[in-house]
Amino acid sequence: MKAIRYLSAGLLFFLCVINLGVGIITWPEPGFVMYMVVGIVYFTLGLLLTTKYGIALWLGLLIPLALLFVYPVVVDLKYLNPWLSGVMGSFDAIVAICCLIMLLLKL
Q: Are 49 and 16 in contact (CB under 8 A)?
A: no
| Parent domain of 23 | 2-106
pLDDT score of 33: 83
pTM over 0.75: yes
Cα separation, 32 vs 30, in Å, equals 6
Residue range 79-107: average pLDDT?
85
Helix, strand, or coil here: 30?
Answer: coil
Residue 79 scores a pLDDT above 70: no
The pLDDT score that the predictor gives to residue 44 is 94
> What is the number of structural domains in the chain?
1
